[in-house]
Amino acid sequence: MVRFINSVILGAVILLTLSGVYGLFLTFPSWMFEVHRLAGWLLIAVLPWKVAISLRSLKRRIFDGGIMVFVALLAAILTLLILVLGLAWGFRLGPEQLWLRQTAISWHWMLALALVIPFALHAWRRWSRPQKADILSRRGALRVLGLGATAIVGWRISQVIGEQRSTPESPNRFTGSRLDGYFSGNRFPVTHSLAASRDQVDPATWQLTLTGEVMNQRSLTYDQLLSYPQAERIASLDCTLGWYTIQNWQGISLSDLLIEAGISSRAYLVRFASVTGYAHILPLVEAQQVILATHVNGETLEHQHGFPVRAVVPSRRGWFWVKWLSEIEVIGL
């Protein structure tokens, strides 16, 4: 029984980690988020057995188990806190913001990342290799079916409760984020760690440079950018703080700029850099879908949203939407 429970927990945590990290970077496909939730409910389903096993083990090892006892306790506390925060966000329980102006869902994934090391240490020292009989025996198969059914029921009930507790003004997205701004122009939340100064993006002096593996490197002024044919894209900006906004973004297609500049056959990646030094890299195929937005829903981007230009990256989370762009570098192999 102990081997079976530990193996289920290990599998659930690995699945949660992989799907969770994926969700911090990408928003599609949507089923990845459902996999994450199902794995979470599988972990919840197995917790009563694990708690009973852990309490028996703790009584024997509390005074002679060394530092690994405290590592195990830390992993257990973090796991429970992560689950509680995830449920609180999904069920809309508690305040919108918690400690340090972070939401429950942002603490959920930050603590989950912090859990990786203590959990890995605990699993390395305590994990018992499962045997075929743990799963393939009649009893093992019944356990698997029972836990799977419990996880599915919990997942479905949580979906219903989440839908009932959402509001028409702020429905949930499949990522778990809540709507805050629907074709509202510049009226949507602002998140950044280091904002550009207004002097850095003065349109009289600011330029966007296109460098790297292109035939014709260039620097473009704000007025020159505005003279290009305008592209539009309705896209959701989805932030890991737990909100998303749906806007019609207008600007210049990066693909058009790259075609005009002439892409080298060695081109593979594209780096987007802000005047603040903040930067992200995308594969060339994905970067060609990017719009360099100068307007949102017909309004000129305001400073806090990235004026004069920000990257619109529909397939990625909001922290890839680099604001106050100053350089686009095409990187070759």
DSSP assignment of 45-95 equals: HHHHHHHHHHHHHHHHHTTTSTHHHHHHHHHHHHHHHHHHHHHHHHTT-S-
274 DSSP β-pair partners: 325
* Greater pLDDT, 210 or 129: 210
Whether 203 has a pLDDT exceeding 60, the answer reads yes
- Give the pTM: 0.90
- Reported as type and span, the H/E element at residue 248 is strand 243-253
In 3D, which of 50, 64, 68 has the Cα closest to residue 1? Answer: 50
Q: What angle do CA 172, 175, 177 make, to 5 degrees?
A: 45
Residue 223 predicted with pLDDT over 70: yes
pLDDT on residue 274: 97
pLDDT at residue number 113:
96
Higher pLDDT, 207 or 51: 207
Residues 208, 217: Cα–Cα separation, whole Å:
11
Task: Tell me the mean pLDDT in the region 236-248.
Answer: 96
Structural tokens at position 162: 């989440």
Q: What is the DSSP letter of 261?
A: H
Asked whether residue 133 carries a pLDDT value surpassing 70, the answer given is no
Structural domains of the chain, with CATH: 2-165 (no CATH), 181-332 (3.90.420.10)
Q: Which amino acid, 22?
A: Y
Q: Residue 21: helix, strand or coil by DSSP?
A: helix
Q: What angle do CA 131, 78, 4 make, to 5 degrees?
A: 10
Which SS3 state, helix, strand or coil, does residue 109 take?
helix
Per-residue pLDDT band for 268 (boundaries 50, 70, 90) equals very high
Q: State the pLDDT confidence band at 69, using cuts at 50, 70 and 90.
A: confident
Average pLDDT over residues 312-320: 95
What pLDDT is recorded for position 331?
97
Q: Which of 232, 277, 242, 254 is nearest to 103 (CA)?
A: 242
- What pLDDT score was predicted for residue 216? 94
Q: Which of 41-55, 66-80, 93-107, 148-162 has the highest mean pLDDT?
A: 148-162
CA atoms within 13 A on the CB side of 156: 6
Quickly state the pLDDT bin for 62 (edges 50, 70, 90).
Answer: low
Surface-to-core class of residue 256, CB atoms within 10 Å of its CB (0-12 exposed, 13-18 middle, 19+ buried): middle
The per-residue pLDDT for range 139-197, each reduced to its tens digit, is: 777 888 899 999 999 999 999 999 999 999 999 999 999 999 999 999 999 977 789 99
Per-residue DSSP letter, 200: G
What local confidence, expressed as pLDDT, does residue 246 receive? 98
CA distance 266 to 21: 30
Confidence of residue 59 (pLDDT cuts 50, 70, 90): low
How many whole angstroms from its chain centre is CA 272? 19
Distance (Å) of CA 130 to CA 3, 207, 270: 6, 60, 45
Percent of the chain with pLDDT over 70: 93
Q: Who's near 146: CB < 8 A, 6+ residues apart? A: none
Helix (H, G, I), strand (E, B) or coil at 191: coil
Question: Nearest Cα to 242, choosing from 136, 92, 100, 59?
Answer: 92
